Amino acid sequence: MIVVLDLGISNVVSVQRMIKKVGYLNVKISNSKHDLNNCEKIILPGVGHYDAGVKSLLNLDLIDFLPRAIKEKNIPTLGICLGAQLLLSRSEEGKRPGLGLINGYCKKFNKKLINKNKIPNMGWLETRFSKKSNLSKNFEGEPRFYFVHSYHFCLENESDILCYSNHGYDFPAGFQNKNIFGLQFHPEKSHSYGKQIIENFLNI
């Protein structure tokens, strides 16, 4: 079973729909500890403010449970947008600590360096993979994905960076450390490219 973790802060149905489009029908929208402890994979979507996401995790009593379950059971986990940011240690957007599964934090785009680009970054960007990964399979050239964000990843270990995009300057658009993956863009809104990266994750 694939669990799309429902924190009440994202359109989980669109993620579920993309998973079914790929051909995986055994997918459940849930925030149950039982489901999370017994699933094959977890997808953590999210939009909005960082502290609101952390608050949802706290209210569901998942802030300690989730990282422990992911680590102990080695569950492949994919964070999307805010969901990916929550996998990090913290964010400049908020005051609460994140899940701490990846060493790093989220930083707001530097207005002085983005030239005439706007904040938030909204739209399609070419994305280049910087290392071989299960997620990077079956892409030719540089795929394009849909972004909506004002903050980007700053990772302590460069080896965790999966891919880059450019919004005035290069920024990490995805990360991977073992079974933990994060994407700043929205694969569920990225048509055929998004479908491919979701399929790659589900095939791990």
SS3 118: coil
Residue 194: count of CB within 10 angstroms of its CB: 22
Active site residue 154: no
Alpha carbon of residue 83 to chain centroid? 5
Q: Which residue of the set 81, 106, 149, 152 is catalytic?
A: 81
Judge contact between 78 and 182, C-beta under 8 A.
yes
Q: Could you tell me which of 106, 62, 84, 69 has the C-alpha nearest to residue 201?
A: 84
The CA distance from 182 to 64, in Å, is: 19
H-state helical runs in 6-142: 12-22, 33-37, 50-59, 65-73, 82-86
Q: Which two tokens stand for residue 97?
A: 């600590």
Which amino acid is present at 133? S
Q: Which two tokens stand for residue 121?
A: 């970054």
Q: Which residue of the set 149, 163, 188, 199 is catalytic?
A: 188
Q: Which residue of the set 149, 152, 167, 186 is catalytic?
A: 186
Determine whether 36 is exposed, middle or buried from the number of CB atoms within 10 Å of its CB (0-12, 13-18, 19+). buried
Active site residue 188: yes
Sign, Cα dihedral of 142, 147, 152, 156 = negative
By annotation, the residues acting in catalysis are: 81, 186, 188
